[in-house]
Structure 1
Amino acid sequence: MMLSEEMSDIAEENLQAHIETEEEEEEIKSLIRPLQIWITSASAPICYQLIPLLASGEVFGMTTEISIHLLDTHQFKEVLCGIVMEAEDMAFPLLYSISEHTEIDEAFIQADIIIVLDDVLLNHEVQSLENYIREVSEICQVYAPLIEKNAKSEVRVISSGKTFVNLKAMMIMTYGPSIKPANVIAVATPWEHAARAMLARKLNMNTAGVKDVIVWGNITGCNYIDLSHAKLYGYDWAIWGPANFPCPLLNVIYDSEWIHSAFLSAQSSLSSRVCHSVGMLPAHGVATVLRHWYHGSPPGEIISVGILTEGQFCVPEGIVFSMPVRFQNGNWEVVTELEINETTQEVLGRLAHELIQEKLIALKEIKEMHPYGADKITSKNYLHQEMETLPTGSL
């Protein structure tokens, strides 16, 4: 019933309306500023577990879109392409884009967040510890200038993985002097979470109720898991109170023999469990730190991260040392009001020694590690040597 000329006019109007609609959508998209997240060594299993956590909205909020950039060497290009396709197929509403990169010169362009996962495959029969430290230093010598050149001025750098997380953070700050030290941290939460889970199993309670377990020192080396400030929430014991009423953990675990034997023995294998994990535990640790960094820690709760020291707790300045912090308003602050006894202070001094040695080797100021005191202490036996001398209240 309609003339061809009328139909042509309507078709032309529809086409024009369609073009205008597309232009409006493109303009709206151009106004969107998603968070630019770069992940190094993105072929690692932790990255595969981390992407769904970042894209789900639980970390940055349900209104924040993100773009993820996966960086690795040419030999892993096919792996990266597979991760990109799978992430796209999952159709995360907040995943604005995801891409793979194998050209190092393109790294960290407009980055808001950089997650450094680079690990070295430790085999002491092939190489010495000192050679591995120098290898980590060389990686950071490449990354740091690129971060300064390509990333945003307020970029936040997170060092994670299974080896040398403190050292990676330290070297990025050293070789990238314009990067704000407060914006570079190392993740200790996998060790903290595993210790909390162990304690919850002992007490037959929910892990969420175990708070303020502190990881001191070299996160992936010699560290000290401190229970003296740990608290329990919602635990069924002699004293009843509201849901937010805490009780000191060491007032509940009367079995000091368990703390000095089973708990310490389990700690000696903790690093092995974390390092052999398929990626869920360290990925959850990174996501937890980012969530606290962007939205703040729960009221009164502390979390352990590796930060550049400024003399807190009498730890020497200028090393990345894991200690308790609180996140608030996009920043963090060290919980310096915690009291520590002389024995714990001695332990922190020994832990700091290892990190100082790593830094000096990385900077080629010394050639080999020098032990603290007469006997050489390794990460496997250090915990037992030190903890056996600590009173229960200092654990």
Structure 2
Amino acid sequence: MAKFVLAGKTDCPYYAKVELLADRLQRSLPHFRIHKISILPDEWQDWLQDTCIKNSWKHEESPLVWRELVHQGGKGVYLGGFNDFLEHCQNFYNITSDMSEELMQSIAEENLETKLNLIMEEQHRASLIQPLHIWISSALNPTCNMLIPSLLSAEVLSQASAISLHLLDLEGNEEELESLKMETEDLALPLLHQVTIHTDLQEAFQKAEIILLLDDRLSEDAKDAQPHQKIKALADLYTEYGRLIEARANGDVKVIVSGGSLVNLRCSFLLKACSIDSSHFVAVATQLENEARAAIANKLKVRTSEVTDVIVWGDVGDGFYIDLQRAHVFNYDGPIKGPPFFSQPVLEIIYDREWVENDFQDIVRCQQTALVSKTCRGADMSNANGILTLLKAWNGMATPSQMFSVGVLYAVPVIFTDGQWSMVPDVTVGEDLKQRLQLSASELRKKMSNEETVTSNENAAASDDKTTSNENTGASNENTTTSNENTGASNENTTTSNENTGASNENTAASDDNTTTSNENTGASNENTRASNENTAMSNETIAMANENTTMSDEKAAPSNENAAMSDDTTTSSENTAASNEKAATSDENATSNENTVTSNENPTDEEKA
């Protein structure tokens, strides 16, 4: 049997011509089969590239034709494009196509329109399916495996037409999550629409309508941490959960927090991180209820299901109290018997108040520990059953009088009506119970305040590091300022030195002017040599005074040079000062001669006096 696969762009006229020729052959030949693959124009290149890479082919244009040796999906034998297929039909079947270009183009446009219509119909059909989005955190927890089969049944979620299950595990292995996904799909449950797996919070809680938080076990790194560090880790995780739930989840989301410890504390962190109404959050205590019912049933020799209306108060898993004020027992073999619907208050049958207040409470508290020591695993089955029971009630599958113990800050007795839970109004809270609740609430607040203290201490430590850094920076700036002030003082001294040097240069210039005058009067001075010699003594005294002034100028220049040496930036100024001092020394020598000349000019000769 000959089977050909025709692939091409929906708007390609050559694909249209090949398609019609193949249809003609299929109608004429009983064993000739075709399979058509129509690709949108903007998706053609990517599809062609992937197909050629997969089959090691080289092809560039539309259409692409190949033969399959067996039914669809078998190994393909590359045939070629438009011309290759026409040549093959001509050689093997002695048939060809004489379709005009106008008809080819018309069929191509029709193909494109048909393809788009089919896509729109598929999208519309998909939009009619509104799956219920359920998110499960810590999905590799054994509780999740026991939840999934019942969770995807109409018995629990009767109003759902389809369910999209999203499995989230931040510490889990992606391969293990993939295995759980395959196992879930293998259940072939009619309500299951799709299963997705997630190992980060990038898409967590998108469109969530039911969220089951099973994060009862910390990561391997946090297991050996101190208690306050464990609480801090849970606070960080559930605070982030709360922000994401508020930003991404459905407005009518139902959030169930379950586990064996810190259940109410985790629920409190969630509520603190978002502004969603508290009626959308519950911490499950159904597991404790069932364990208490089992303990009472064991004492009264009845079945566990025949004990009802047990109340759990306080912090689930840590500081709870089992209250039997509303508890009843059915089919009890005592002095008073009745039909199956007849029940008796438990406290009227159990007269031992010592057992109720002490031994009974300890039995329930130690139940999980005893189970773990015997089976080396948690009470996963009981935990899953408690979640499913609560979900049924929350979705309207419980009687109005049926009571459950749930809560946010601490567990209280509630009833479910029209998808909302409310506290049972006629429950008696005595002084002893009130003190227990106050103690439980104070312990919970203490844990939350300790977590806030740890956070504030970490922030304070970070702030101290920044303050120390700022202080060091300030000290560095002060040193820099002092250095700049010293540099400024050095520059001022250098400026003073330069001013003194300038004055010295001005004196030198004046001396040069006097020298010029002296040279002009040299002739007269020579004629009066005798008078000049008489005044030599006066001239020498004047020279000594000039030398003394020069010495003082040098002394002033010396400190100036020392100050200039202190500043690297004034090195050039110091060199200029040294040069000016050399010039000053030269001027001193000239000053001596000029002063003699001036003195000589200041003492007129006898002829001038006459």
Q: 1:157 aligns with which of 255, 266, 282?
A: 255
CA distance in 2, matches of 1:278, 1:229: 26
The superposition leaves residues 29-58 of structure 1 with CA deviations (integer Å, 9 ceiling, x where unpaired) of 431212100011111111111111201222
Between structures 1 and 2, the one with greater helix share: 2
CA distance in 2, matches of 1:111, 1:324: 27
Alignment partner, residue 228 of structure 1: 325
CA distance in 2, matches of 1:346, 1:299: 30
Whether 1:290 and 2:391 are equivalent positions in the alignment is yes
Alignment partner, residue 334 of structure 1: 423
Whether 1:65 and 2:157 are equivalent positions in the alignment is no
Alignment partner, residue 200 of structure 1: 297
CA distance in 2, matches of 1:274, 1:334: 31
Contact kept, 8 Å, 2:167 with 2:196, in 1: the verdict is yes
Q: 1:358 aligns with which of 435, 447, 452?
A: 447
Contact kept, 8 Å, 1:166 with 1:321, in 2: the verdict is yes
Q: Percent of counterpart pairs with the same letter?
A: 35
Contact kept, 8 Å, 1:191 with 1:270, in 2: the verdict is no
The superposition leaves residues 306-358 of structure 1 with CA deviations (integer Å, 9 ceiling, x where unpaired) of 23xxxxxxxxxxxx110100011100000131112211211111111111112
* Aligned residue type for 1:193: N
SS at match of 2:202: helix
Contact kept, 8 Å, 2:140 with 2:172, in 1: the verdict is no
Whether 1:93 and 2:185 are equivalent positions in the alignment is no
CA distance in 2, matches of 1:345, 1:136: 29
Alignment partner, residue 217 of structure 1: 314
Alignment partner, residue 310 of structure 1: none
Alignment partner, residue 233 of structure 2: 135
Residue 291 of structure 1, CA deviation: 0.8
Of 119-128 and 215-224, the range deviating more from structure 2 = 119-128
CA distance in 1, matches of 2:422, 2:381: 27
Contact kept, 8 Å, 1:214 with 1:225, in 2: the verdict is yes
Q: 1:187 aligns with which of 276, 284, 290?
A: 284
Residue 362 of structure 1, CA deviation: 2.9
Closer, same or farther: CA 273–77 of 1 in aligned 2, 3 Å: farther
Residue 121 of structure 1, CA deviation: 4.1
CA distance in 1, matches of 2:361, 2:200: 45
CA distance in 2, matches of 1:171, 1:189: 21
Closer, same or farther: CA 143–186 of 1 in aligned 2, 3 Å: same
Contact kept, 8 Å, 1:222 with 1:351, in 2: the verdict is yes
CA distance in 2, matches of 1:279, 1:305: 19
Alignment partner, residue 117 of structure 1: 214
CA distance in 1, matches of 2:194, 2:370: 33
Closer, same or farther: CA 63–39 of 1 in aligned 2, 3 Å: closer
Contact kept, 8 Å, 1:191 with 1:271, in 2: the verdict is no
Of 336-345 and 84-93, the range deviating more from structure 2 = 336-345
CA distance in 2, matches of 1:242, 1:69: 47
Of 56-65 and 141-150, the range deviating more from structure 2 = 56-65
Aligned length: 348
Alignment partner, residue 140 of structure 2: 43
SS at match of 2:382: helix
CA distance in 1, matches of 2:226, 2:169: 25
Alignment partner, residue 316 of structure 1: none
Of 65-74 and 87-96, the range deviating more from structure 2 = 65-74
Closer, same or farther: CA 118–88 of 1 in aligned 2, 3 Å: same
Alignment partner, residue 93 of structure 2: none
Alignment partner, residue 374 of structure 1: none
SS at match of 1:269: helix
Larger RCO: 1 or 2 (CA < 8 Å, sep 6+): 1
CA distance in 2, matches of 1:348, 1:230: 19
Contact kept, 8 Å, 1:296 with 1:328, in 2: the verdict is no
SS at match of 1:295: coil
The superposition leaves residues 112-160 of structure 1 with CA deviations (integer Å, 9 ceiling, x where unpaired) of 0111111244999943322111111100122122111211112111111
SS at match of 1:73: coil
Q: 1:145 aligns with which of 223, 243, 266?
A: 243
SS at match of 2:402: coil
Alignment partner, residue 314 of structure 1: none
* Aligned residue type for 1:167: L
* Aligned residue type for 2:241: Y
- Which structure's CA Rg is the greater one? 2
Contact kept, 8 Å, 2:131 with 2:164, in 1: the verdict is yes
Alignment partner, residue 524 of structure 2: none
Query: Considering only aligned residues, what root-mean-square deviation do their CA atoms show, in Å?
Result: 3.3
Contact kept, 8 Å, 2:256 with 2:282, in 1: the verdict is yes
* Aligned residue type for 2:155: E
CA distance in 1, matches of 2:172, 2:436: 43
Alignment partner, residue 343 of structure 1: 432
CA distance in 2, matches of 1:259, 1:67: 45
Contact kept, 8 Å, 1:154 with 1:180, in 2: the verdict is no
Contact kept, 8 Å, 2:320 with 2:440, in 1: the verdict is yes
Alignment partner, residue 356 of structure 2: 259
Contact kept, 8 Å, 1:62 with 1:94, in 2: the verdict is no
Alignment partner, residue 378 of structure 1: none
Residue 25 of structure 1, CA deviation: 7.6
Contact kept, 8 Å, 2:213 with 2:257, in 1: the verdict is yes
Alignment partner, residue 392 of structure 1: none
TM-score (norm 2): 0.52
TM-score (norm 1): 0.79
Of 20-29 and 86-95, the range deviating more from structure 2 = 20-29
Alignment partner, residue 460 of structure 2: none
CA distance in 2, matches of 1:152, 1:343: 41
* Aligned residue type for 1:340: V
CA distance in 1, matches of 2:334, 2:385: 30
* Aligned residue type for 2:403: I
